[in-house]
C-alpha cells in the first residue's frame, strides 16, 4: 500500500480509536508512532480492500469499454473450436471442413476414418452434383447431401457463404441421429470463419 493511501487512514485512526496501553512517559512519542504505523484497525481494513475492488472494477470497466471494438472479430470462435463443437453430436466419428475444388481439408476433428480420402470422395460427389445442377440450367443451390451407408451416415453441407467449401460430418449409423447431425451442420454455418 502506498504512502498516499496510508496517510489519510492515519488521521482517521487518531480521531476514532487509539491503540491500548500507550506509554505516555515517552516525551517524543516515537515508539507510539512506530506502533501506529504497524497498527491496522479492523474497521479500517475494509476500505482498503474496497478501494482495491474499486480499482479492479475500474480496470474491468476499461476492459469492457475496450471490448466492443473487438467483438466483431472475437465473437466467432476459431475453426478448431467450431469443429470440436460439431463433433459433439451423438455417434460422431469425424468432422471436417473441405474445399471441394481441390478436395483438400481445411480443418478436421475426430478420428477412426481416413478423413483425407473420404473428403476427396465427398468433393467428387459434390462437384458432380453441382456440375449437373448447372447442366440442368437452374441455379438451385445445394443445401446438403445426406448419405446413409451400411455403418455410417455422412453429411455434406456446403457453406451458404461459399458453396465450394463444405462441412463434412461422419457419424456411426447405429448411434447417430441424422437429423441432429444435420441441424448441427446448419448451426455451424454462422460460426465458421475462414
Partner 1 sequence: MSNVTESLERLVELAGARSAALVDSNSGMVLGHAGSDAGLDIAAAANTEVVRAQLKSIGTLGSTDVIDDIIITLSTQFDIVRPLTANPSIFLYLAMDKNKSNMALARYKVSECEAQLEL
Measured in whole angstroms, the distance separating CA 29 from the mean position of its chain's CA atoms is 59
| Contact (CB, 8 A) for 184 and 86 | yes
Question: Which residues fall within 8 angstroms of residue 51, CB to CB, at 6 or more apart?
Answer: 5
Q: In the complex, what is the shortest distance from the CB of residue 120 to partner 1, in angstroms, rounded to a whole number?
A: 8
Q: What is the DSSP string of 4-58?
A: HHHHHHHHHHHHH---SS--TT-SS-HHHHHHHHH---HHHHHHHHHHHHHHHHH
Stretch near partner 1 under the rule CB under 8 A, chosen from 3-11, 41-49, 65-73, 137-145: 137-145
Please identify which residue in 131, 161, 187, 190 interacts with partner 1, judged by CB under 8 A: 131
Site string for partner 1, 42-81 (x = CB under 8 A): ----------------------------------------
Please identify which residue in 6, 141, 190, 194 interacts with partner 1, judged by CB under 8 A: 141
Closest CA to 185 of 144, 148, 141: 144
Please state the length of the chain: 194
Q: Does 146 bind partner 1 (CB under 8 A)?
A: yes
Please identify which residue in 79, 125, 159, 165 interacts with partner 1, judged by CB under 8 A: 125
Closest CA to 37 of 8, 2, 15, 6: 6
Please identify which residue in 94, 100, 152, 184 interacts with partner 1, judged by CB under 8 A: 152
Q: What is the DSSP letter of 77?
A: P
What residues numbered 105-124 form the site for partner 1, per CB under 8 A? 114, 117-118, 120-122, 124
- Which of residues 162 and 193 has its CB atom nearest to partner 1 in the complex? 162
Q: In the complex, what is the shortest distance from the CB of residue 143 to partner 1, in angstroms, rounded to a whole number?
A: 4
Closest CA to 36 of 59, 17, 55: 17
Please identify which residue in 9, 145, 165, 180 interacts with partner 1, judged by CB under 8 A: 145
* Cα atoms found within 13 Å of the Cα of residue 100, Cβ hemisphere only: 22
Please identify which residue in 76, 107, 133, 172 interacts with partner 1, judged by CB under 8 A: 133
Please identify which residue in 2, 30, 88, 150 interacts with partner 1, judged by CB under 8 A: 150
Binding site for partner 1 (CB under 8 A): 114, 117-118, 120-122, 124-125, 128-129, 131-133, 135-138, 140-152
Amino acid at each position: 500500500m502506498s504512502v498516499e493511501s496510508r496517510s489519510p487512514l492515519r488521521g482517521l485512526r487518531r480521531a476514532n480509536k487509539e491503540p491500548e496501553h500507550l506509554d505516555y512517559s515517552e516525551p517524543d512519542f516515537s515508539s507510539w508512532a512506530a506502533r501506529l504505523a504497524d497498527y491496522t484497525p479492523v474497521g479500517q481494513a475494509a476500505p482498503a480492500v474496497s478501494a482495491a475492488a474499486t480499482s479492479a472494477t475500474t480496470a474491468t470497466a476499461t476492459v469492457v469499454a475496450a471490448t466492443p471494438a473487438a467483438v466483431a472479430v472475437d465473437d466467432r470462435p476459431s475453426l478448431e473450436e467450431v469443429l470440436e463443437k460439431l463433433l459433439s453430436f451423438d455417434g460422431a466419428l469425424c468432422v471436417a471442413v473441405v474445399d471441394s475444388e481441390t478436395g483438400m481439408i481445411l480443418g478436421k476433428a475426430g478420428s477412426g476414418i481416413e478423413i483425407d480420402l473420404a473428403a476427396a470422395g465427398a468433393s467428387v460427389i459434390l462437384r458432380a452434383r453441382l456440375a449437373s445442377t448447372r447442366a440442368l440450367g437452374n441455379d438451385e443451390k445445394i443445401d446438403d447431401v445426406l448419405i446413409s451407408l451400411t455403418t455410417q451416415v455422412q453429411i455434406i453441407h456446403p457453406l451458404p457463404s461459399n458453396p465450394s467449401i463444405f462441412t463434412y460430418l461422419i457419424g456411426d449409423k447405429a448411434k447417430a441421429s441424422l437429423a441432429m447431425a444435420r441441424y448441427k451442420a446448419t448451426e455451424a454455418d454462422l460460426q465458421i470463419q475462414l
